[in-house]
Amino acid sequence: SDPSTLGFALVGFISGPVFHRYGAGYRFAKLACDLAEKHGFVANQPKVYHAMGTVAFWTQPVGAAIDFMRASSRTAIETGDLTFTCYGTHQVVTGVLLRNAPLDAVWRESEMALAFAREAKYDDAADIVRSQQRFIATMQGRTASLSTFNDAQFDEAAFEAQLTHDRMPLMICWYWILKLKARFLSGDYAEALAAADNAKPLLSVATAQIQLLDYFTYTAVTVAALYGNASEDEQHGWRELLRAHQEQLREWAETYPPTFADKYALVTAEIARLERRDADAMRLYEQAVQSARESGFVQFEGLAHELAAGWYAARASTTAGHAHLKAARNCYLRWGALGKVRQLDQRYPELRQESASPALAATIDAPIEQLDVATVIKASQAVSREIELGNVIETLIKLAIEHGGAERGLLILFPNGDPRISAEATTGRGAVEVALRQAAVTPSDLPESVLHYVIRTRQSVIVDDAAAPALFAADAYMQEVRPRSVLCVPLLKQTKLVGALYLENTLTPRVFTAARIAVLELLASQAAISLENATLYSDLRRSESILAEGQRISHTGSWSWNASTGEQRWSEETFRIFGYGPDVRPTLETVFARVHPDDLPLVQRQIERASSEGQHFDFEHRLLMPGGAVKHVNVVVHAVRDQAGQFDYAGTVMDVTAAKRAEEELRTAQADLANVTRVTTLGELAASIAHEVNQPLTAVVSNAEACRRWLNRGTPDLDEARSALESIIKNGHRAGEVIRRIRALLNRTDTPKAPLDINDVVDEAVALVHHDLAGRRVSMRTELAGALPPVEGDRIQLQQVIVNLVTNGIEAMQSITTRPRLLVIRTQQDESHNVLVSVTDCGVGIAADHADKLFDAFFTTKSSGMGMGLSICRSIIDAHGGRLSASRNAGPGATFQFALPPYGHA
């Protein structure tokens, strides 16, 4: 449930710092996030992400924690939660400070956080940000001196005076921690210690917060700095403090080395210094420097160099001390802490002269390079406007080259987890040229060690030739190409590494200034989102086109219909089936406009059924297209209830016209075949009758003529006449015999007879005449009794009987226009267990004087009739041991019925 997300998040929040279970804490917070995301529990999302961000500071890359804080403030803005909008944004500032991002970029973040706090009229939140800004401004050298927060807008004493007990304790605690850090860095250790003492009683409210890291680190280095001149009592107490703080830092460093190992190493180095364990101290300072550099903590690396420099100087090791100082200055410069750089330059003037490459000197004395907000906004809008993957890639790499000052750039994406180069941009003849590529990364493309470092730490790497870290110096590419400036920025979305941007300049060192890196990092975070969206979009497009292709091939469109809003959505194929252009807005009316008028009632019934029953069902109907063409469609409807209890429908419409046509053609072919058989049989019969009967008839006629001649003589020859008459009689009998023989032939006693289900025979016969029925607008009903005993017979002959009876019925109804033409076929069992089949029509009926002639051969009332059908039918039924009879209906029409004995009784 929704509240449980908050419960899990808060358990995660306290698990690490309070119960020393950081891994479990992370998993709880992750569970909370996953739950909130999976079920869309938006109300608690700002709090859940905030807790996750807080936990992530202890257990994940700093960048991941920052992303969660951003997610917290973003969801807070979405849900109108002003408080958490403030908490999220000022913790982003905390994160970028912790990451030692260039200070001018950090300042920009703080401006945004301050704007939110003011908007929310949340004074405590505003003062949290103002404290952060004091620290930033002091380091940047914008305050009256490095030793104060004061400037034209800020009065440190007045600010501290209003930190009364009615204010937010967390805000007060954090202010003192920031002051502790600032005063330590300015070298005002006594003030730093006083600030630590002010923070200490408030620490219990800050238990889970990352600010504790600064408290533990800077209090330790402060007392270590003061230690030498302290009383023995103080020293005793501080030794304990140092042990305790070292222990705490050790726990964090073991939990997540990339963020904490350098802090732990530096405090441990300071302890070694105090204990005069020189070898340990030397090794540990080096370790602090290395760890800080590997994690990209440029400020902390500077501090480690600075403290190491002090240690070497105290041992009169000037060269090493000097080298560390130089490195420290370099780090502070890259961090953008010009106040701190100025302090070093004043203390050690020779440092300044040495580093005074013209470009750098200009940087230091120039006013702080301001981030060009308009450029950043324009650039990130340009990237976010694109939705096609190719365009996003091209725009992004172009912008990166233009704003980064690089000569060459590569965009690396991770389509299946492995890095692949997606685009390469080069500057040539004044323009940026972009080539989209799809290639694996090789050692000749870029320094792979740099890329792997970025992938592993998710932090940007800058290498310029003045300070090429030993880590990358051995890289084959570095040795071969010798780029003067290299920058590799990760593209992160939340915690997911989407890609990396690699930029290089082979001619100019230090082109990647703090301001440029800040722009690129902002651009990178926007680009990561755009790239992810574009990838999703192209995946979506791919699966959509597969679906559309499938729909086209199978002639099946899909649709959805929300009954309460009336809104319908159709797939391309649905538009095609209904014969509408894609710009038509689908409604029920557009559907009705295409339904065949005869099927409209059926379709309306189905829609009513859908809205009342809302189940899963399907039906068929016809469409009448504008050109008069008729389509047959099969519609499948699936109903689901929405949250308001209304039905939402989804379904398919399949064009089955081709199948229907094929089916009808098959029926016609079968019926035609049956008809041909019938006609052929009759034709053969007629021919054989003609042939067989012609002979005796010719004999009859010639004998009769002879007889007349004998009688017409002067003296009639009666004997001859009698003999001719004898011959006539003989031939007459012979003709009769021929007819009998033909009937016997039809009886075909040798045809194999099998047990049959008469209902099956009826169904098969009906299928044969189905086409005729439709063509002559006759509707047919079958009423077939269940559980009939099988009959014995010849399936084909019995079919022929039924087809004959049905055909006669249809013909008898041809002239009827005043009533529906209905034909009913029934099967049943009579009292003597015979199976009865009857065919009832409502046609012209049987005239009284025809009743006993119907079954005679050659009796017909039709102009083109043969008069053989019923006669043959009777022969067939007789041969089956049954009876065929006709009767007049009570109403209009006639009924023909035959009875067959059950199997085994024939």
CA distance 422 to 400: 14
CA distance 291 to 365: 31
884 binds ligand ADP (CB under 6 A): no
CA distance 724 to 702: 9
Judged by beta carbon, residue 292 or residue 766, the one nearer ligand ADP is 766
Q: Sort strands 822-829 and 779-784 into parallel, antiparallel or unpaired.
A: parallel
Judged by beta carbon, residue 270 or residue 841, the one nearer ligand ADP is 841
CA distance 87 to 694: 116
Judged by beta carbon, residue 881 or residue 892, the one nearer ligand ADP is 892
CA-to-CA dists, residue 191 to 49, 78, 195, 222, 602, angstroms: 36, 42, 6, 10, 90
Judged by beta carbon, residue 267 or residue 839, the one nearer ligand ADP is 839
Residues 6+ apart with CB under 8 A from 593: none
894 binds ligand ADP (CB under 6 A): yes
Judged by beta carbon, residue 155 or residue 783, the one nearer ligand ADP is 783
Indicate which single residue of 607, 636, 844, 906 sits in contact with ligand ADP (rule: CB under 6 A). Answer: 844
CA distance 876 to 870: 10
899 binds ligand ADP (CB under 6 A): no
Indicate which single residue of 604, 698, 861, 887 sits in contact with ligand ADP (rule: CB under 6 A). Answer: 861
**Nearest to ligand ADP by Cβ — which residue?**
869
CB of 689 to ligand ADP, least distance (A): 15
> Which segment (92-100, 397-405, 548-556, 844-852) binds ligand ADP by CB under 6 A?
844-852
What's the maximum distance between 2 C-alpha atoms anywhere in the chain? 184
Judged by beta carbon, residue 384 or residue 860, the one nearer ligand ADP is 860
82 binds ligand ADP (CB under 6 A): no
Judged by beta carbon, residue 413 or residue 866, the one nearer ligand ADP is 866
Question: Is 52:79 a contact under the CB 8 Å cutoff?
Answer: no
Residue that is written with structure tokens 């802090």 in the block? 263
730 binds ligand ADP (CB under 6 A): no
Question: Is 131:366 a contact under the CB 8 Å cutoff?
Answer: no
Residue 821: φ, ψ to 5°:
-90, 105
Burial of 691 (0-12, 13-18, 19+ CB in 10 A): exposed
Question: Is 588:566 a contact under the CB 8 Å cutoff?
Answer: yes
Residues in the chain: 906
> Which segment (17-25, 128-136, 432-440, 840-848) binds ligand ADP by CB under 6 A?
840-848
Indicate which single residue of 282, 289, 700, 846 sits in contact with ligand ADP (rule: CB under 6 A). Answer: 846
The 536-555 site mask, x for binding ligand ADP (CB under 6 A), equals --------------------
> Which segment (93-101, 128-136, 761-769, 804-812) binds ligand ADP by CB under 6 A?
804-812
773 binds ligand ADP (CB under 6 A): no
CA 218 to the chain's CA centroid? 49
CA distance 471 to 468: 8
> Which segment (166-174, 430-438, 752-760, 861-869) binds ligand ADP by CB under 6 A?
861-869
843 binds ligand ADP (CB under 6 A): yes
870 binds ligand ADP (CB under 6 A): yes
CB of 758 to ligand ADP, least distance (A): 20
> Which segment (376-384, 406-414, 784-792, 864-872) binds ligand ADP by CB under 6 A?
864-872
CB of 712 to ligand ADP, least distance (A): 42
CB of 684 to ligand ADP, least distance (A): 16
CA distance 479 to 129: 45
Q: Token pair for residue 771?
A: 């086409």
Question: Is 182:196 a contact under the CB 8 Å cutoff?
Answer: no
Number of residues that bind ligand ADP (CB under 6 A): 21
Q: Which long-range contacts (CB under 8 A, 24 or more apart) does 273-279 make?
A: 273/224, 273/311, 274/224, 274/227, 274/242, 278/315
CB of 660 to ligand ADP, least distance (A): 30
Question: Is 471:453 a contact under the CB 8 Å cutoff?
Answer: yes
862 binds ligand ADP (CB under 6 A): yes
224 binds ligand ADP (CB under 6 A): no
772 binds ligand ADP (CB under 6 A): no
> Which segment (98-106, 521-529, 629-637, 842-850) binds ligand ADP by CB under 6 A?
842-850
Nearest Cα residue to 286 out of 826, 294, 133: 294
Judged by beta carbon, residue 578 or residue 855, the one nearer ligand ADP is 855
CA distance 159 to 132: 13
H-assigned helices in 276-348: 278-294, 298-314, 318-335, 338-347
Residues 6+ apart with CB under 8 A from 181: 135, 192, 214, 218
CB of 814 to ligand ADP, least distance (A): 11
860 binds ligand ADP (CB under 6 A): yes
Residue 755: φ, ψ to 5°:
-65, 130
Indicate which single residue of 11, 212, 637, 854 sits in contact with ligand ADP (rule: CB under 6 A). Answer: 854
Q: How many CB atoms are located within 10 Å of the residue 448 CB?
A: 17
CB of 864 to ligand ADP, least distance (A): 8
892 binds ligand ADP (CB under 6 A): no
Indicate which single residue of 859, 881, 888, 903 sits in contact with ligand ADP (rule: CB under 6 A). Answer: 859
Judged by beta carbon, residue 58 or residue 896, the one nearer ligand ADP is 896
Judged by beta carbon, residue 145 or residue 887, the one nearer ligand ADP is 887
CA 750 to the chain's CA centroid? 69
Burial of 461 (0-12, 13-18, 19+ CB in 10 A): buried
Judged by beta carbon, residue 105 or residue 866, the one nearer ligand ADP is 866
> Which segment (55-63, 194-202, 465-473, 837-845) binds ligand ADP by CB under 6 A?
837-845
> Which segment (252-260, 437-445, 736-744, 857-865) binds ligand ADP by CB under 6 A?
857-865
Nearest Cα residue to 261 out of 238, 240, 286: 286
869 binds ligand ADP (CB under 6 A): yes
CB of 678 to ligand ADP, least distance (A): 10
Question: Is 461:504 a contact under the CB 8 Å cutoff?
Answer: no
Amino acid letter, 780: M
CA distance 611 to 649: 9
CA distance 877 to 853: 17
Indicate which single residue of 310, 789, 867, 892 sits in contact with ligand ADP (rule: CB under 6 A). Answer: 867
499 binds ligand ADP (CB under 6 A): no
Nearest Cα residue to 165 out of 115, 221, 205: 205
95 binds ligand ADP (CB under 6 A): no
806 binds ligand ADP (CB under 6 A): no
Rg (CA), the chain: 50
Residues 6+ apart with CB under 8 A from 15: 21, 22, 24, 25, 28, 55
Please list every residue from 808 through 827 that binds ligand ADP, using CB under 6 A: 808-809, 812
CB of 807 to ligand ADP, least distance (A): 8
CB of 785 to ligand ADP, least distance (A): 22
> Which segment (273-281, 335-343, 371-379, 868-876) binds ligand ADP by CB under 6 A?
868-876
Judged by beta carbon, residue 193 or residue 765, the one nearer ligand ADP is 765
Please list every residue from 288 through 327 that binds ligand ADP, using CB under 6 A: none
Judged by beta carbon, residue 764 or residue 811, the one nearer ligand ADP is 811
CA 486 to the chain's CA centroid? 38
- Which residues of the shown chain bind ligand ADP in the complex (CB under 6 A)? 808-809, 812, 841, 843-846, 854, 859-862, 865-871, 894
